[in-house]
Amino acid sequence: MIYCFCSGKECGSLSKRNGYGIVYSVTDGENEMQNWIEGFQKSIDYIEDNLTELLDINVIAGKAALSPFYYQRIFGVLCGMTVGEYIRARRMTLAAQELSVSDIRVIDAAVKYGYDSPDSFTKAFQRFHGITPSQAREPGAHLRSFAPLHIKITLEGGTMLDYRIVERASFTIVGIKRRFNSDTSYQEIPKYWAEWSKNMKGLKGMFGVCTNMDGKDFDYWIADLYMPWEDTPEGCETVQIPGSLWAQFLCKGPLPESLQRVNTQIWSEWLPALSGYKLGGDFHIEVYMPPAENPEDNVNYIWVPLRKV
């Protein structure tokens, strides 16, 4: 299986015979990286300063000059958790500390840290700490603590990331779509592919396409290239992908290791050092093809939309 950037499903890309673009490699880009790290850290600092307030992912992502969709993707790669999980862990940490040293009522702590009722707060508290809020007041109570994140990214010598910048005209895909939430998409989209594989609805499943991104929510398509002279499979829709510049990242070797390695490099090395371009569009594409007979010969790509600055 080849795991895709968004869904964990099998993934591939167009053949190198297409001949688009040229190959680039990442350089150290120290100034660009420093600015990028500072922007991302500002977003985390904003979360920390507002943990007892209503937090909006659009505002958080804006602190890092990213769209909510890409911010959450990058956050997951860099931090190993979703934005929501981080916020909940930090709120539970602060709530436990406050309960253990003050006489704040459980109902007031629930409201302060963003829960609708004492019951929902107590359940979340027990999942995190293993004890109830009332037990947290007892001397010697065992509490868990999750420290604030501090982003530090380094480029160490010898690492090369090959990619090419490609300009493609708009094209149309045909397929089925479903709405997903970024917090659960890594678990739910593979289920979507498994469901589709039982009844392929006349599709080959060439593409996995993220579109219509709105905060944490986005449409995910299982799709093929639309051919106007062919009948549209039952239950399928079409959508036009705008013309764009794309960064195509080479992923070669056994899967999912090669794809996961490059995916991590994109967000932790390439994007911080990127100069002259910014992430573009509210969409991206995965292009699927059968794996090679020899896993070492697998050649796949991750595509990321760009725009010049």
What residues does each domain of the chain span? 16-26+157-308, 30-154
Kindly tell me the burial class for residue 173, based on how many C-beta atoms sit within 10 Å of its own C-beta (0-12, 13-18, 19 or more): buried
pTM over 0.95: no
Taking only the tens place, the pLDDT of each residue in 84-104 is: 999 999 999 999 999 999 999
When pLDDT is averaged across residues 283-289 and rounded to a whole number, the result is 77
* pLDDT tops 60 at residue 25: no
Ranked by mean pLDDT, which of 54-68, 213-227, 292-306 comes out on top? 54-68
C-beta contacts of 69-76 below 8 A and 24+ residues apart: 69/182, 69/210, 69/213, 69/218, 69/282, 70/279, 71/43, 72/182, 72/183, 72/216, 73/6, 73/182, 73/267, 74/40, 74/267, 74/271, 76/186
175: tokens are 């397929």
CATH number of 16-26+157-308: 3.20.80.10
* 200-247 residue pLDDT tens: 778 888 888 888 877 778 899 999 999 989 888 888 999 999 888 998
Q: Give the residue with greater pLDDT, 10 vs 180.
A: 180
Alpha-helical runs (H) found in 102-184: 106-112, 118-129
Average pLDDT over residues 38-66: 93
Asked which of 26-30, 248-252, 262-266 is least confident by mean pLDDT, the reply is 26-30
**Residue-averaged pLDDT of the chain:** 81
Selected from 2.120.10.80, 3.30.9.10, 1.20.1740.10, 1.10.10.60, the CATH number assigned to the domain covering 30-154 reads: 1.10.10.60
Average pLDDT of the segment spanning 25-39? 59
User: So what's the pLDDT on residue 34?
Assistant: 65
Supply φ then ψ for residue 202, to 5 degrees: 75, 10
Going by C-beta distance under 8 Å and a sequence separation of 6 or more, which residues neighbour residue 167? 20, 21, 243, 244, 245, 246
Burial of 85 (0-12, 13-18, 19+ CB in 10 A): middle
Q: Is the pLDDT of residue 13 over 60?
A: no
pLDDT the model gives residue 18: 30
Q: For 6-17, what is the mean pLDDT? A: 38
